[in-house]
Structure 1
Amino acid sequence: MTTTLITGGNKGLGHETARRLRDIGHTVVIGARDPERGRAAAEELGVDWVQLDVTSDASVRGAADALAERYGTIDVLVNNAGISGGMTAIEDVDGPAIASVLDTNTVSAVRMTHAFLPLLRRSEQPVIVNVASGLGSFAVRADDDRIESTLPTLAYSASKAALTMLTTVYAKFVPDVRINVVDPGYTATEFNGNSGPQTVTEGTDAIVAMATIGADGPTGEFHDRHGIVGW
């Protein structure tokens, strides 16, 4: 049985990822900052949940201890939790604003990886999936035909670009774990006011694909639902 932890799993992409992985036989645990929402989502999905605030070292350590006691190991970690930082004009983005987005979207992946690596290493086929964005891709943002090139998402883009770099470094120096990063694409969720053209199922295609790779699967790669994404 494959045990999978999904941060930010009580709504949006995390919720749909939980549903899809549950349906193919994973034992799914959703991490949720709000206990009431986490419990409700877990009951709806028929999965487990753990209280988890990815911006808190103590909360992350507590979740790791709880899952070590419940399951003994984690096979797949999906670092999905994140914030947008809003569509603030570039000149209005200050230090505290960008620091907050970086802490949630980038530093949290380090917290989670550090805390859960011992559990992952008990698995025969450990996998980490980091959920980034085309908004954090230099190649995508340089393409004038892509909508991402038109959006002044300074803090969000910086946080996701940093997450892709974290992924490449982890993948090289932690070779016993398959570690990849994905771009869900512009998906209709609460995160963007349901404005995206993709369905939430389409938006989770890359996440599910990378969460279900085997021991011979890719590592250190950036994927969307269509294939490789340029850095």
Structure 2
Amino acid sequence: MPDTMIALVTGANKGIGRQIAGQLAALGHTVIIGSRDLARGDDAAAEIRDEGGKARAVALDVVDADSVAAAAESVEAEFGRIDALVNNAGISHRPGADLAGQLPRSADVDHVRYVFETNYFGLIRVTTAFLPLLRRSPAPRIVNISSSAGSLTAISDFANPDPIALGYVPSKTAVTAATLMYARDLASEGILVNAVCPGFIATDLNGHRGTGTAEEGARQAVRMATIPADGPSGTFTDSAGPVAW
């Protein structure tokens, strides 16, 4: 790993993403805060700078191809490369809706598609746009924020307390599977790709019902974003270690 990195974190103006950015900055790295709302991203970047870190914000809406392309162009013009990409942006449901629209017995396909557009297709869109900048790093790495809720092992347990949500849960299964695809495909280029589960963290995503803090939820992502060039790839972990696929 370079002594100092340039790391892009999507959905980083609040919650776990904000904590990932802050913790990376506290380690001396430069963080780029991807945020749909640039003003909120600027506020988060200013907070990190006030804490002594290096940060700037970029407008980045993962479901908007033009926004993603513009963000990549902006980052390239200012930094020339990135060393780490943390695909953190994610949603649990469509605004104004609830999980009822994701129950298999009453599924709303448009609601499910809306969740996948952010959680899965957004990840692919951002990764595709920033791969050219990652290839300029001496030790590139990608961290995808997944969830143990999407573990097939967990889903098969009928006593599992995680929600039955036809959009959110399978979208995280897909994120973990995509991580393996990227890890295999990019291995020859030395790009390390790993998935992490932050845990059941109190954020807007779950109406702050989680039992952990955003600071705690960020730690494993930060750990995997800063692994050395000979570190692992194609793993799925949380703060306690490997997570069942």
Do they fold alike, i.e. is TM over 0.5?
yes
Paired residue for 1:5, among 5, 8, 14?
Answer: 8
One-letter amino acid of the structure 2 residue matched with residue 162 of structure 1: A
Which has the higher mean CA deviation after the structures are superposed, 197-206 or 54-63?
Answer: 197-206
Identify the residue that residue 40 of structure 2 maps to in structure 1.
Answer: 37
CA positional deviation for 1:153: 1.7
Q: Secondary structure at the match of 1:66?
A: helix
TM-score normalised to the size of structure 2? 0.90
CA distance in 1, matches of 2:192, 2:143: 8
Partner of 1:169: 181
> Residues 8 and 81 of structure 1 are in contact (CA less than 8 Å); yes or no, is this contact kept in structure 2?
yes
1:77-116 deviation line (CA, Å, top 9, x unaligned): 0000011014225133221111111110001111111110
TM-superposed CA distance for 1:144, in Å, is 5.4
Where in structure 2 are the equivalents of 1:119-138 lying within 5 Å? 119-138=133-152
Long gaps (5+) in structure 1: none
Structure 1 equivalent of residue 90 of structure 2: 82
Secondary structure in 2 aligned to 1:73? coil
The answer to whether residue 224 in structure 2 is matched with residue 210 in structure 1 is: yes
Q: Which moved more, 1:185-194 or 1:57-66?
A: 185-194
**d(CA) in 1 for partners of 2:180, 2:15:** 26
- Shift of the 144–92 alpha-carbon distance from structure 1 to 2, 3 Å rule, reads closer
1:52 corresponding residue in structure 2 = 60
Q: Does 1:105 align with 2:119?
A: yes
CA contact (8 A) 1:135 1:153 kept: no
Which shifted more, 208-217 or 38-47? 38-47
Whole-angstrom CA distance in 2 between matches of 1:220 and 1:18: 22
Distance 2:159 2:215 in 1: 24
Which residue in 2 is equivalent to 1:157? 169
SS of 1:48 mapped into structure 2: strand
CA contact (8 A) 1:8 1:14 kept: yes
Q: 1:21 aligns with which of 19, 24, 35?
A: 24
CA drift at 1:216: 0.8
Q: How many residues align?
A: 229
The residue type paired with residue 83 of structure 2 is D
What is the CA–CA distance in structure 1 between the aligned matches of 2:38 and 2:235, rounded to whole Å?
A: 33
2: CA distance between counterparts of 1:173 and 1:118? 15
CA distance in 2, matches of 1:50, 1:143: 41
Could you tell me how far apart the structure 1 residues matched to 2:234 and 2:201 are? 24
- What is the alpha-carbon root mean square deviation over aligned residues? 1.2
> Where do 5+ consecutive residues of structure 2 fail to align?
50-54
After alignment, is 73-82 or 136-145 more displaced?
136-145
1:61 is matched with which residue? Answer: 69
Aligned position for 2:238: 224
TM-score (norm 1): 0.95
Alpha-carbon distance, 1:141 to partner: 2.6
* Structure 1 residue 146 displacement after superposition: 4.5
